[in-house]
Amino acid sequence: MASRQSTQLSVVGLMVRGIVEAIVDYPDKVVITEVEGTRNSMITIDTEPSDTGKVIGKRGIHADAIRKLATAAGGKLNRRYTIDIAEH
């Protein structure tokens, strides 16, 4: 499958960035990258190492919520979104 790295984020990528920036201590250090395939996209969240736990949440509750929102928004756009949280 050919994929390309997007220089601009999709609507779902922007939504994920807004959510992550709202829950971390260092929102200016948040980096969201999106790699698009034909019908699916992978969004990678990279934060300050001390903020990674806040993005994941206890027992992964925040990460699950972000993934569910991306899945719901992707359904409307006919795309599948995979969310990856970079760990340091």
- Per-residue pLDDT, averaged over 3-23, amounts to 83
- Per-residue pLDDT, averaged over 4-18, amounts to 81
- Amino acid type, 82: T
Indicate whether this model's pTM tops 0.85. yes
- Per-residue pLDDT, averaged over 46-59, amounts to 96
Question: What Rg value do the Cα atoms of the chain yield, rounded?
Answer: 12
Phi-psi region of 44 (alpha: psi -120 to 50; beta: other; left: phi over 0): beta
Confidence of residue 7 (pLDDT cuts 50, 70, 90): low
Phi-psi region of 57 (alpha: psi -120 to 50; beta: other; left: phi over 0): left
Q: For the chain, what percentages of helix, strand and coil (3-state, to nearest 5) are there?
A: 50, 25, 25
What domains, with CATH codes, occur in the chain? 4-85 (3.30.300.20)
Does residue 35 contact residue 85 with C-beta atoms inside 8 Å? no
